[in-house]
Amino acid sequence: MKQHPLNLFSFCPVCGSSRFVENNFKSKRCMDCGFVYYLNIAAAVAAFILNPAGELLLCRRAKEPALGSLDLPGGFVDMGENIEEALRREIYEELSLKVDTTRYLFSLPNIYKYSGMEIHTLDFFFLCLVSEFDSIQANDDVGEAFFRPLNKIYPADFGLDSIKKGIIAFLNETPQIR
């Protein structure tokens, strides 16, 4: 049985008390100062980017988790960002590409395993239009970036569960999405 993420935190982040106890399924309460901590999900973004030939831009992960597996461009939303800003920033950081337009497609809940913790996320998937690919380069946590025809994309090659599910949904809906 998996350990609930709140059980990883034993001390109140406000006063340091060890009397930091379960309040309900998604929160803990400090019995000394009264602070209530709610465990909320992290937001993340992923991009489907097609070139003029209709091939999908894929990345190879340069870091754990899922080192060496295929991925989509994207990442976590920073504090103070909206989802579209995060999408544009991540694509620029990872690939040096500027996004012209974005179109929201769907979202999927995910558990992102990082440094021994399970981070609950909600992953937002977008179709992105990029008109200029000359500046593309693998940066940040991307080891390699390349295009692949849709009929040569296999979900098993993707290391992160929500990305696999997103690839399946995208490939099943491609005629309606484009």
pTM value?
0.89
Of 5, 19, 142, 6, residue with least CA distance to 69: 142
Question: Apex CA 100: angle with CA 125 and CA 145, to 5°?
Answer: 65
- Each residue of 20-47: pLDDT tens digit? 999 999 999 999 999 999 989 999 999 9
Check if CATH label 3.30.450.20 holds for domain 42-177: no
Contact indicator for 52, 63 with CB cutoff of 8 Å: no
Domain regions of the chain by residue span: 5-38, 42-177
Q: What is the DSSP string of 48-71?
A: EEB-TTSPEEEEEE-SSSSTTSEE
User: Is residue 178 predicted with pLDDT exceeding 80?
Assistant: no
